[in-house]
Structure 1
Amino acid sequence: MNGWNSTDSRLFSWTYDSPEAGSPDRNEALVYFMSQEEAPPPLLRQELKDAIVGLSEAKVFAAGRGEAEVLPTLGFNPYPQIIIAGLGPSGADAQAWREAAAAAVRKALARGIGKLAIMTDSVGKTESDPLTRIRALTEGFMLGSYYRQTYKKTAPSRVLLEQVKYYVTDKAEEAKLQDAIQTGCIYASATNYARDLTNTPGNAFVPETMASEAKRLAEAYGLECAVLDDKQLLEQGMLGLYNVGKGSIHPPRMIVLKYQGLPEWKNVLGLVGKGVTFDTGGISLKKADGMDEMISDMGGGAVLLGVMKAIGEMKPQVNVLAVIPSAENMPSDRALKPGDVISTLSGKTIEVTNTDAEGRIILADGVTYAKQLGAGRIIDVATLTGAVLVSLGDLATGAVSNNDAFMKELLQAAERSGERLWQLPAYPEYKEALKSSVADIKNSTVNRWAGAITGGLFIGEFAEDTPWIHLDTGGTAYLLKERGVDPEGGTGAMVRTLLHYIVH
């Protein structure tokens, strides 16, 4: 019996047949998965097992996480080539399967192989059940096959992933099997979409572009969308966002997407995403080295658009509000200056001591607006600080919260997603560094100690008593080198964690 996934029937399928029953073409490979403690897969001919052992003895392939190799079968298998992918130590979790799938598909595409057949039960010991495993594999194949768009005169020749077929032996219920593949597809597709947005050059993606993309999503998936322009920001008192964006020829926008999956607009989760489409630092100008990476400073907003895309596809029974304050932080004769004191939608005033700490200023208005629109709990996502990179490197997203129970739920969602999330302390003493003698709060501290924490706590002042979590993706939203399921460039970090929290 064969089945096709309803979300992307062009890509994923499954069969209960044996691999020997198929007629693979030259562009197809059969994928096996191995843990480090296990012998080569028993279904293989002895000649191929010996070849795998030889790779291990030559220290070419040790079945570690992220390892994969392609072997020609030389007529010893119906498939012209096989791919072996490592799961690391025995007892592989879902993330190990994601990483193995990503490694396998990258190796396949590099060798010109666009069709894969998967032996999902090719290891004996695993911590994940078959359906969780297939969902993780689906995510891994889609995430690992991601290509960053180029703008070269002659486009590079690339082999794309054409087909993935699962050989399933456990006779899982068809509806559950289809749901596992479909969910994996949607989560990975949302992440890849956020990656595309994050990687878009700053000259092609300005606040108005971000607003247009939100409107396109709303139309495509039946969401409600509202966009406030710079004049409306002034009228409504959103002066934090207005002042950050006023130095650019591309005026700021406040973008709102609303999904109502419950009969009443209550129990609303508010998502607030930083949408700085390019950050020069403003008058407090950044150094030239690495400034090109600031195309990713709208990574928080990109994550929210990815999340809302997935929610629009899945239609869960939840209420979700996405608020994206979007601006371009530029130096000019109109730009915000160090020493300025500005008001915000909340009525609180900010002493601007550093115009390069602009993200927290626009998020202040975003958080207040989310509360006004009915959010009962709030998660903000932002490439907020370089300090989080100093603290956690590019391996984990930092989190600050005013509600430990809320935070615990999100940490559990991150564990399920395979994304790394680390809670930072929010001791009251840290807030002392944000006190101002001329305004309610200042946007940057004198010595920048604990910068990831104080930056988050600045936003928390505007959340007030509303349960709130701040996610600082300053180290994880954009990578300089491919790692695990993530590519070089935009990663879409936290899309899948948020979806695991929202949809379960």
Structure 2
Amino acid sequence: MDLVIKVATPDKQRGACVVVGVFESKKMTDAAKDLDNLSEGYIKSIISQGDMEGKANTALLLHKVPNVLCKRVLLVGLGKEQEFKDSAFINAVQAAFRALQNTGTTDCAFYLTDISVHERDIAWKVTQLARLSVDCSYRFDMLKSKPDEGNNALRKITICIRDRIDMTIGEEALKQGAAIAHGMSLTKDLGNLAPNICTPTYLADKAKELAKTYKFKATILDKKDMEKQGMGALLAVARGSHQPAKLIVLEYQGKGRKEKPIVLVGKGVTFDTGGISLKPAAEMDEMKYDMSGAASVLGTMKAIGEMNLPINVVAIIPATENMPGGSATKPGDVVTSMSGQTIEILNTDAEGRLILCDALTYAERYEPKAVIDIATLTGACVIALGNVATGLMSNDETLSQELLKAGEEAADRVWQLPLWNEYQDLLKSNFADMANIGGRAGGTITAACFLSRFTKKYQWAHLDIAGTAWKSGKEKGSTGRPVPLLTQFLMSQANMSK
């Protein structure tokens, strides 16, 4: 997808299609009015006849509009003007791309950035438009013998603004939006790959490719290395698999060596059967997405690499399969983590926290400014928050607020849950320092409580993306979240440290 931004008025725009908006009151935006004046009231007559009422999530494609230089005009419904906020803007852009799918449109000019969006500036609108341009055109057909028929022919998007003063801001926002979208595409590709392809070794190789492209430092620890580090919890999960476990580390230095890094830790269970505590067969194929935390970390690293963000970031990805077998860890086993704390494994399907706890201990060596782990950790989070918001728990309120703010800015929202000491009692074990589960009640919180026992030496936040990392059903696939959230957070941190 070729993304361009320029200063231009719709009446002089040439090409395959121009996109303008109409509010639910049949009120045209300024860009739509310009085209209507050029067409001597043709567009207004179409609207007045009721073909386009301006309702949200609707669109009407017009051909050969009189005197308009573009071959097509796409009218997009914006909904009620007084309710036109960030989600409505995003919905309008998505509706436009849905309408353009399976048409012959090869290029399109968007005139939506001049529409007022509540508490959003021109940079936000350009960033979102750029991100959505790539995101909405994403297809995953690399494993098919023939690509899907009817793929969108759209190859070029022009984001049009009216004021040359906004051009510098717009160009930077376009770059950022494209970088976020490319990071999301990588995250989606990794999540959507079949689990016999996307193994821990595959993730390690992909990390090496990123390191070569963006000049990261890559370190890959294998079983012997992890044994030397005392990573008994991570290796306990890997015992039942024939695929070798990996601890993947990428170091990005966008600032001086004295600057403390932010560490991102991504859960990389490339397939989760549940182990001996076997999952039900129905929809088990979706457990290939249990590495979505790892995928989102790699996608975020790609995004900040493209942007050359002035910040230091370390990515740590514990990667393994969780399989049953004669050598697999059993319920009741006790293992020793890298921190020296012992864990009674009551349920082998609570494996994500086991691999994360050793990675979180490993993060201490970087003396981090903050550590954020990202994991498809608990089904309880899906029950609590559905597929809309990512769960957030933290041992530092300032860090929590920064992530909440970044989520709002990126339209990739999180919701904070408590991390109170009263929940810690649910992890008590008669035979070890702690159990790896705390029962059904408060499952998302007790999982975070478990991780908090390995994060006492730094500021830490936990993101449970079990409900937001992928979609089920007819549109099954990776969402690319929370790459926008993580990238926005890092962008904000980079700006704060200037």
2:421 paired with 1:468? no
**2:94 aligned to which of 84, 99, 102:** 102
Residues 294 and 160 (structure 1), Cα distance of their counterparts in 2 relative to 1, 3 Å cut: farther
Paired position in structure 1 for 2:442: 450
Per the TM alignment, residue 503 of structure 1 is displaced from its structure 2 partner at its CA by: 1.1
Paired position in structure 2 for 1:111: 103
Paired position in structure 2 for 1:494: 482
Moved more, 14-23 or 262-271: 14-23
3-state SS of the aligned residue for 2:489? helix
2:238 paired with 1:245? yes
2:44 paired with 1:49? yes
Contact 1:100 1:140 in 2 (8 A): no
Residues 37 and 74 (structure 1), Cα distance of their counterparts in 2 relative to 1, 3 Å cut: closer
Paired position in structure 1 for 2:495: none
Which amino acid is 1:501 matched to? F
Paired position in structure 2 for 1:340: 333
Kindly report the root-mean-square deviation, in angstroms, between the aligned alpha carbons of the 2 structures: 2.0
TM-score where L is the length of structure 2: 0.92
**2:387 aligned to which of 394, 418, 422:** 394
2:25 paired with 1:34? no
2:223 paired with 1:235? no
Contact 1:195 1:490 in 2 (8 A): yes
**2:164 aligned to which of 166, 171, 174:** 171
Listed as ranges, the matches of 1:122-161 within 5 Å are 123=115, 127-157=119-149, 158-161=151-154
Paired position in structure 2 for 1:432: 425
Instruction: Output one character per residue of 1:373-400: Cα deviation in whole Å (capped at 9) or x when no partner.
Output: 3323211000001110111111111111
Question: In percent, how many aligned pairs have the same letter?
Answer: 36
What is the CA–CA distance in structure 1 between the aligned matches of 2:391 and 2:441, rounded to whole Å? 15
Per the TM alignment, residue 372 of structure 1 is displaced from its structure 2 partner at its CA by: 2.1
3-state SS of the aligned residue for 1:96? helix
Per the TM alignment, residue 317 of structure 1 is displaced from its structure 2 partner at its CA by: 2.1
Contact 1:207 1:250 in 2 (8 A): yes
Listed as ranges, the matches of 1:164-313 within 5 Å are 164-313=157-306
What is the CA–CA distance in structure 2 between the aligned matches of 1:206 and 1:403, rounded to whole Å? 34
Per the TM alignment, residue 83 of structure 1 is displaced from its structure 2 partner at its CA by: 1.6
TM-score where L is the length of structure 1: 0.91
Instruction: Output one character per residue of 1:281-306: Cα deviation in whole Å (capped at 9) or x when no partner.
Output: 01100001111111110000000001
What is the CA–CA distance in structure 1 between the aligned matches of 2:114 and 2:304, rounded to whole Å? 33
Residues 37 and 419 (structure 1), Cα distance of their counterparts in 2 relative to 1, 3 Å cut: farther
Residues 53 and 125 (structure 1), Cα distance of their counterparts in 2 relative to 1, 3 Å cut: farther
Residues 47 and 413 (structure 1), Cα distance of their counterparts in 2 relative to 1, 3 Å cut: same
Per the TM alignment, residue 110 of structure 1 is displaced from its structure 2 partner at its CA by: 2.9
What is the CA–CA distance in structure 1 between the aligned matches of 2:209 and 2:326, rounded to whole Å? 34
Unmatched 5+ stretches in structure 1: 1-9
Unmatched 5+ stretches in structure 2: 493-498
Residues 37 and 406 (structure 1), Cα distance of their counterparts in 2 relative to 1, 3 Å cut: farther
Moved more, 396-405 or 117-126: 117-126
Paired position in structure 2 for 1:4: none
Per the TM alignment, residue 38 of structure 1 is displaced from its structure 2 partner at its CA by: 5.5
Contact 2:137 2:152 in 1 (8 A): no
3-state SS of the aligned residue for 1:152? coil
Contact 1:393 1:475 in 2 (8 A): yes
2:414 paired with 1:421? yes
2:7 paired with 1:12? no
3-state SS of the aligned residue for 2:392? strand
Which amino acid is 2:368 matched to? A
Per the TM alignment, residue 310 of structure 1 is displaced from its structure 2 partner at its CA by: 1.3
What is the CA–CA distance in structure 2 between the aligned matches of 1:494 and 1:103, rounded to whole Å? 22
3-state SS of the aligned residue for 1:463? coil
